[in-house]
Amino acid sequence: MKTRKILYADEGKILTNGEIYGKQIFLADGVSEYDFYEITEGEYEDIIAMQEEAANDI
Amino acid sequence: MSVAAKLAQIAENEQKVYDAGENKGYTDGYEKGKSEGGDTEAAYEQGKADGKQAEYDAFWDAFQNYGEPKNYGYVFAYDAFTDETYNPKYPINCIYSQAMSGNYVFSYSKITNTKVAVICGANRTMTGTFANSKIETIPKFVVLETNAFTNTFQKCTALKNITIEGVVANNISFAESSLLSRESIESIINALSTTTSGNTVTISKIAKENAFTDEEWASLIATKPNWTISLA
């Protein structure tokens, strides 16, 4: 039987490893939970807004 | 004139109208059918239908390069087309040899259904292909292991139905697609490569919770232990 590690973000927080973002992260085999940290939802929204602005500049 | 002769004349007139609409094949085909239809409403309607079909074929054959791969970058973006005017004859077949061929194809579009398959060109990064659109249904999204997906479905908040054909071997995100159906999420997960490592698929947490129990979800993603799955 294999199990999968799941990371849960605290209320008002988003998990990230700098590239991907989520409120729950189901880790693949071999991926460490220590690669992930929490940011606030506000910080996440700022990041997304910057990404959209960069995309619209293309 | 005998009855038989009259019937023969009527049939001949109908054929003339049909031929006129078909042979002309453009906008004036409507008027041609109308003018030569005489008293036969059906002949007029046939000429009109044939002219309309020929006009449709002429436009979409040229616009879509008779279905051969082409550069579809930005082609249907913004207000270029609506659900009424967007009626492709062929799949959206993005050529492999031009870097922008699949970029922003439907970006900011109000089209709600791609109606035909969208085919990724080999080795292409599909950047913003459907980003910020109102698309609800993508009947078929044909992908290759060599395709990458950068903001492909960014802000696709209306997306409900997608069927993926092929293998997804790079990060892909449906973070804002909270209306995705169960079948669509299953299609996405089932399309994930079984051999790559270090990749992530992002699914809307709301979509997942609306579609699956925790047990069903665990069972589905257990098939792809090599993928990190993020619920956004």
Cα-trace Rg, chain A? 14
Q: How far is CA B142 from CA A58, B80, B139, in A?
A: 25, 24, 10
Structure tokens belonging to residue B65: 């390069």
Å between A16 CA and nearest CA of chain B = 9
CB distance B118 to B142 below 8 Å:
yes
In the beta sheet, which residues pair with residue B231? A24, B203
Query: In chain B, where does DSSP find H-type helix?
Result: 3-24, 28-36, 41-63, 182-191, 205-211, 214-221
**What residues of A are in the B interface, CB distance below 8 Å?**
2, 4, 15, 19-31, 51-52, 55, 58
For residue A20, give the nearest of B127, B131, B230 by CB distance: B230
Residue (of A31, A37, A48) closest to A13 by Cα position: A37
Å between B102 CA and nearest CA of chain A = 14
pLDDT interval class at B49 (50, 70, 90): confident
Whether residue B154 and residue A58 make contact (CB cut-off 8 A), yes or no, is no
For residue B231, give the nearest of A2, A24, A31 by CB distance: A24
The string of pLDDT tens digits covering residues B106-154 is: 999 999 999 999 999 999 999 999 999 999 999 999 999 999 999 999 9
The string of pLDDT tens digits covering residues A37-50 is: 999 999 999 998 88
∠ CA(A50), CA(A53), CA(A57), 5° rounding? 140
Å between B52 CA and nearest CA of chain A = 38
What SS3 class is residue B70? strand
CB distance A35 to B217 below 8 Å:
no
The string of pLDDT tens digits covering residues B174-213 is: 999 999 999 999 999 999 999 999 999 999 999 999 999 9
C-alpha span between B97 and A46 (Å, rounded): 35
The string of pLDDT tens digits covering residues B155-180 is: 999 999 999 999 999 999 999 999 99
CB distance B125 to B151 below 8 Å:
no
Q: Pairing mode, if any, of strands B125-127 and A6-8?
A: unpaired
- Phi then psi for residue B222, to 5 deg, are -65, -20
For residue B229, give the nearest of A26, A29, A51 by CB distance: A26
CB distance B222 to A4 below 8 Å:
yes
